[in-house]
A and B are shown apart, each in its own frame.
Chain A
Amino acid sequence: MSRVFVSLVFAMVTGMAAQPAVAETPAEVLAIFKAEAVGTPGFKDFSAVRGAEFFKNKHGGEWSCASCHTDDPAAQGKHAKSDKLIKPLAPSANPERFTEMKKVEKWYKRNCNDVLDRECTAQEKGDVLTYLLTIGK
């Protein structure tokens, strides 16, 4: 009887371990940005309105976030140079988005450098994600 029990537990555990690991949820990613932003001078509660404006602004350069991700983050995007199609950015349209912090940081670093010539602050990242989370709701 105990052998059956142990086997069952073993099967359960391996079954659970076999699930694809989602490192974070978008809400958890947002909480991480909040924790980083809160201590910084001039911190304001994350705002979707500010995030939307930031997203569509070219910030004095050639590109905005919308240049590749389009004005509708739930839509498919296209790379402004290579024309490669980009899956939607809004988590409501693409559940894989903002579920792996390593990937989130990689793309914020690259794309903020491309758009702003600098890294985005935690405030800016949080505003943008707050905006993206309102899409499709």
Chain B
Amino acid sequence: MKFSGKHALGILAALLLVAGVVKLAVSDDYSGRGQQMMAGDKEAEEVKVRRAQPSNPEWLEECSACHIAYPPRFLPAESWREIMVGLGDHFGSDASLDVKTAGEISAFLEQNARRRKTTPDASGKYPLRITDSRWFRREHARAASRVKDDPKLRNLANCGACHMQAESGSFSEHDVRYPF
């Protein structure tokens, strides 16, 4: 096959197209902000990304009795371990479970816990409240000040007040509706 200018143009176009597709595929820049992403933003974007939600029937039934079943990815395994050991006094309420069910739920939580490194505080403690996590506070700085002034909202533990799909484990920004 004779190599001609026409072919060269076609090959160049194809190469550019492939390069563009490859760039899109490897980019994790969902917001289009590109190089302007700051240090905490990648984490924030991660939180917003929809992904397949791990689930477990015991966890769903037992842990959504009094609040939404908070997704295991919101806390590190160390935190879940401490929570599961202290169910008799679970933030002021008795949430005790039989040993077998507790074991199954613990395993599920630890297997699907937050994998990004969480630094414990100065005394070596891991956050027990999701609302005390650094990533959470970063994400909810603005919401926190609005919630404080609203008698109906009380605190940020009730995800469903703003996150319309919280019960299905999705916290995408697209599904947020502010009640204030």
Q: Which residues of A contact B (CB under 8 A)?
A: 79, 81-84, 106, 109-111, 113-114
Taking a contact as CB atoms closer than 8 A, the residue among A84, A106, A109 that contacts B67 in the complex is: A84
Which secondary structure characterizes the binding site on chain B?
A: loop
Instruction: Report B72-103 CB contacts with A as 1/0, cut-off 8 Å.
Output: 00000000000000001001111111100000
Question: Could you say which residues of chain A place their CB within 8 Å of the CB of B94?
Answer: 109-111, 113-114
How far is the CB of B77 from the nearest CB of chain A, in Å?
24
Given contacts A84-B68, A106-B97, A114-B93, 20 further A-B contacts (CB under 8 A): A79-B66, A81-B66, A81-B91, A81-B92, A82-B66, A82-B67, A82-B157, A82-B158, A83-B158, A84-B65, A84-B66, A106-B98, A109-B94, A109-B96, A110-B93, A110-B96, A111-B94, A113-B88, A113-B94, A113-B96
Closest to B161 in A: A83
How far is the CB of A5 from the nearest CB of chain B, in Å?
39
Determine whether B51 belongs to the interface, using a CB cutoff of 8 Å to chain A: no
Q: How long is the Cα–Cα vector from A82 to B157 in the complex, in angstroms?
A: 8
Closest to A80 in B: B93
Interchain pairs with CB closer than 8 A, number: 30
Question: Could you say which residues of chain B place their CB within 8 Å of the CB of A109?
Answer: 94, 96
Determine whether B6 belongs to the interface, using a CB cutoff of 8 Å to chain A: no
How far is the CB of B157 from the nearest CB of chain A, in Å?
7
B96 touches A83 (CB 8 A): no
Q: How long is the Cα–Cα vector from A109 to B98 in the complex, in angstroms?
A: 11
What size tier do the contact residues of chain B reach?
Answer: 10 to 19
Determine whether B154 belongs to the interface, using a CB cutoff of 8 Å to chain A: yes
Question: Could you say which residues of chain A place their CB within 8 Å of the CB of B98?
Answer: 106
Closest to A63 in B: B93
Question: Could you say which residues of chain B place their CB within 8 Å of the CB of A113?
Answer: 88, 94, 96
Q: How long is the Cα–Cα vector from A60 to B32 in the complex, in angstroms?
A: 58
6 interchain residue pairs of minimum CB distance: A113-B94, A110-B94, A82-B67, A79-B66, A82-B66, A114-B94
Question: Could you say which residues of chain B place their CB within 8 Å of the CB of A106?
Answer: 97-98
Question: Could you say which residues of chain B place their CB within 8 Å of the CB of A83?
Answer: 154, 158
Question: Could you say which residues of chain A place their CB within 8 Å of the CB of B65?
Answer: 84
Instruction: Report B7-47 CB contacts with A as 1/0, cut-off 8 Å.
Output: 00000000000000000000000000000000000000000
CB within 8 Å for A110 and B158 given contacts A82-B67, A84-B66 = no
Could you list some 30 contacts between A and B, CB below 8 A?
A79-B66, A79-B67, A81-B66, A81-B91, A81-B92, A81-B93, A82-B66, A82-B67, A82-B157, A82-B158, A83-B154, A83-B158, A84-B65, A84-B66, A84-B67, A84-B68, A106-B97, A106-B98, A109-B94, A109-B96, A110-B93, A110-B94, A110-B95, A110-B96, A111-B94, A113-B88, A113-B94, A113-B96, A114-B93, A114-B94
